[in-house]
Chains A and B, each alone.
Chain A
Amino acid sequence: MIKLAFYGKGGIGKSTTVSNLAAAMAQQGLRVMQVGCDPKADSTIALRRGQALPTVLELVRQGSFALEDMVREGFAGVVCVEAGGPTPGVGCAGRGIITALEKLQEKGAYEVYRPDVVLYDVLGDVVCGGFSMPMRKGYADEVFILTSGENMALHAAANIAMALDHFKDRGYARLRGLILNRRDVPREEEKVAELAEDLHSTIIGSLHRSETVQEAEELGKTVLEAFPDSAMAEEYRALARQVLGQAGGEQVC
């Protein structure tokens, strides 16, 4: 089982990218699970084809529940889970992620669904201990950071890398590379390459800015589902191959 976490600045396109990667990997014949680690609980929305999905924390709050209550099978058979979180403005979202991921493990999600690949889509920056949970031993083995060439995105990426470096003696996930999600800002590739070099890492793949992504989002679908023959769909397929290649995916193909 390959377990990968995706981090990056809020709004950089993590959920869109991860959902399209999940769809592309599933279409390659892999069993994929996508776990949204964000209180907004909208990571898997483009995969779920309109199905409602109670969050893990909503179910925990209600009391007893079964594993299947916290899971929906989406486009291409991707197994969708949303951690959820407290009402905005109260509680502790980070602690919520910890509880949700522990509950997922406790309910035997990985043993029952036996995914080949688990993708954790993690909220914005690593703002507290809870958001480093997907990096911990037993969860993701590798981390990919999405960034554009915008300064704030680069700054967030550097912070996430710093957290990973801080945890290097703890057996946590390793930084496997950066993914450039272009916003077409000046010197974009150059700036992200500089950051990669500073982090002793590499850019493992990149995506062009494309209207197709927004059009698919309007339809509530992934690009892979809505526009499978588009150039953008092919970019996601290529990125999926690159991600799996970096993460040792050849073993499961």
Chain B
Amino acid sequence: MRQTASIISTYTADVSGVCSALFELGGMTVMHDASGCNSTYNTHDEPRWYDTDSLVFLSGLSELEAVMGDDEKFIGDVAEAARELHPAFIALAGTPIPMVIGTDFAALAALIQQRTGIPTFGFATNGMHSYLSGASQAFATLAERLVQEPRERRKELSVNLLGVTPLDFSVGPMVGSLRRRLEAEGIAVASCWAMGDSLENICRAGEATVNLVVSWCGLAAARVLRRRFGTPYVVGAPVGEAFTHVLAEEIRAAARDGQDRLPLTKRPPAGPGDLTLIAESVTGGSLAAAMALEQGKRVRLVCPLETEDGFLLPGDVRARDEVELEPLFKEAGGIIADPLYRPLCPPEVPFYELPHEAFSGRIYRRDIQDFIDHIPFFEEKRKRS
């Protein structure tokens, strides 16, 4: 059946993506929902919930408020909380009920901003898209609304890391590894969107030489920053030493000529019979490129999430539903995926676990590998002739 997940999990939804992207920046994010989105978020989607303070709330939308279209309570509650808590910004994130009744989040955000004087953003998320879509909207809005016009560019070669959330990089050592790999290549990290960095620093992102899109949800922000300040962007995560070197060369070239670059597609194409990686397109494509460079592997990327056509190679596949994924699993020389994909894998095909927070939440967090630092080795079974 299409659009059905009967034996595998589903990815974190867009509303949690908004919360995750903005979690550390001192703003206040309000999910407009009856209840449910909050417990999904803090139980499954947000590993920082219990040890990092953040103003993430749920509106408690009632049946009657939804039926009567009573936005005033929501507006009043958000404004009152903001007056008490003084957030740096306010973000409103939609869920399925407001989607069904057609809540106009852009208009509500404008009204709340009028009342509070605090920059307010409305995101028409609806739970029907993945976390990448929500995080992408949140990052793009920061780039549009909060990043300031730079007085001057930084002198040293520097990048903003765009698209960093625990949903793709978890809360272990991976974010530190992203920085360390680039710094080892002589590239400074001007800001990290948005883990381990301040809103103040992110507001100065216009000063960086190049933007580095490390997951798809950073792409829209990179395009906004290109339009606003002419900053070129490079797409790829610094996975392993050899691919990071390729990436660093592309960053230097982009800094010289101002052209955008896509090094994550610099890998040999693969197809049925090869190792098959189920992953987010930028981190997955980068890992595949790194495995090709360091291990001589051909890796076919299967992307079940939002992406761009240009991020995939011929032979890679966009597939989301079980009905689409099952035949790909059968023909693979080995599957590398989150453990919750295992039920789709036939017994004769080797299955290698690569836990992904956005797919299995906290279940396998302890087993999440820092593939930025160390590329795991996966052996495909002998290729079919």
User: What's the minimum C-beta distance from B375 to chain A, rounded to whole angstroms?
Assistant: 38
Q: For window 103-130 of chain B, which residues contact chain A by CB distance below 8 Å?
A: 103-104, 106-108, 110-111, 114
On whether the beta carbons of A137 and B103 are closer than 8 Å, the reply is no
B5 at the interface (CB under 8 A from A): no
User: What is the chain B residue whose CB lies nearest that of A167?
Assistant: B107
A191 at the interface (CB under 8 A from B): no
| Mask of A66-95 contacts with B, CB within 8 angstroms, 1/0 | 000000000000000000000000001011
B376 at the interface (CB under 8 A from A): no
User: What's the minimum C-beta distance from A49 to chain B, rounded to whole angstroms?
Assistant: 34
On whether the beta carbons of B107 and A92 are closer than 8 Å, the reply is no
The CA of A94 and the CA of B107, in the complex, are separated in Å by 18
On whether the beta carbons of A170 and B69 are closer than 8 Å, the reply is no
User: What's the minimum C-beta distance from B219 to chain A, rounded to whole angstroms?
Assistant: 18
The CA of A84 and the CA of B106, in the complex, are separated in Å by 25
On whether the beta carbons of A136 and B69 are closer than 8 Å, the reply is no
On whether the beta carbons of B110 and A129 are closer than 8 Å, the reply is no
On whether the beta carbons of B107 and A170 are closer than 8 Å, the reply is yes
| Mask of A32-66 contacts with B, CB within 8 angstroms, 1/0 | 00000000000000000000000000000000000
* Residues of A with C-beta under 8 A to B102: 94-95, 98, 128-130, 132-133
User: What is the chain A residue whose CB lies nearest that of B111?
Assistant: A169
B85 at the interface (CB under 8 A from A): no
The CA of A170 and the CA of B69, in the complex, are separated in Å by 15
How many interface residues does A have (CB within 8 Å)? 16
On whether the beta carbons of A169 and B104 are closer than 8 Å, the reply is no
* Residues of B with C-beta under 8 A to A94: 102
User: What's the minimum C-beta distance from A100 to chain B, rounded to whole angstroms?
Assistant: 12
On whether the beta carbons of B103 and A136 are closer than 8 Å, the reply is no
The CA of A167 and the CA of B107, in the complex, are separated in Å by 9
User: What's the minimum C-beta distance from B189 to chain A, rounded to whole angstroms?
Assistant: 35
User: What is the chain B residue whose CB lies nearest that of A128?
Assistant: B69
User: What is the chain A residue whose CB lies nearest that of B69?
Assistant: A129
User: What's the minimum C-beta distance from A76 to chain B, rounded to whole angstroms?
Assistant: 33
The CA of A65 and the CA of B104, in the complex, are separated in Å by 26
Q: For window 183-224 of chain A, which residues contact chain B by CB distance below 8 Å?
A: none
B323 at the interface (CB under 8 A from A): no
User: What is the chain B residue whose CB lies nearest that of A136?
Assistant: B104
Give the interface centre of B102, B103, B106 by most chain A CB atoms within 10 Å: B102
On whether the beta carbons of A171 and B100 are closer than 8 Å, the reply is no
A7 at the interface (CB under 8 A from B): no
* Residues of B with C-beta under 8 A to A120: none
User: What's the minimum C-beta distance from B306 to chain A, rounded to whole angstroms?
Assistant: 15
B101 at the interface (CB under 8 A from A): yes
Residue from A95, A132, A169 in contact with B100 in the complex, judged by beta carbons closer than 8 Å? A95
Q: For window 75-126 of chain A, which residues contact chain B by CB distance below 8 Å?
A: 92, 94-95, 98
Q: Answer whether A137 and B107 are a contact pair too, CB < 8 Å, given A129-B69, A169-B114.
A: yes
A172 at the interface (CB under 8 A from B): yes
Q: For window 311-351 of chain B, which residues contact chain A by CB distance below 8 Å?
A: none
User: What's the minimum C-beta distance from B230 to chain A, rounded to whole angstroms?
Assistant: 24
Q: For window 145-169 of chain A, which residues contact chain B by CB distance below 8 Å?
A: 167, 169
* Residues of A with C-beta under 8 A to B100: 92, 95
20 CB-based A-B contacts, threshold 8 Å? A94-B102, A95-B100, A95-B102, A98-B102, A129-B101, A129-B102, A129-B104, A130-B102, A133-B102, A136-B104, A136-B107, A137-B106, A137-B107, A167-B107, A169-B111, A170-B108, A170-B110, A170-B111, A171-B107, A171-B110
Q: Which residues of A contact B (CB under 8 A)?
A: 92, 94-95, 98, 128-130, 132-133, 136-137, 167, 169-172
Nearest 4 A-B pairs (CB), nearest first? Answer: A170-B107, A129-B102, A98-B102, A130-B102
A128-B101, A136-B107, A169-B111 known, 16 other contacts, Cβ within 8 Å:
A92-B100, A95-B100, A95-B101, A98-B102, A128-B69, A128-B102, A129-B69, A129-B103, A129-B104, A132-B102, A133-B102, A137-B107, A169-B110, A170-B104, A170-B107, A172-B107
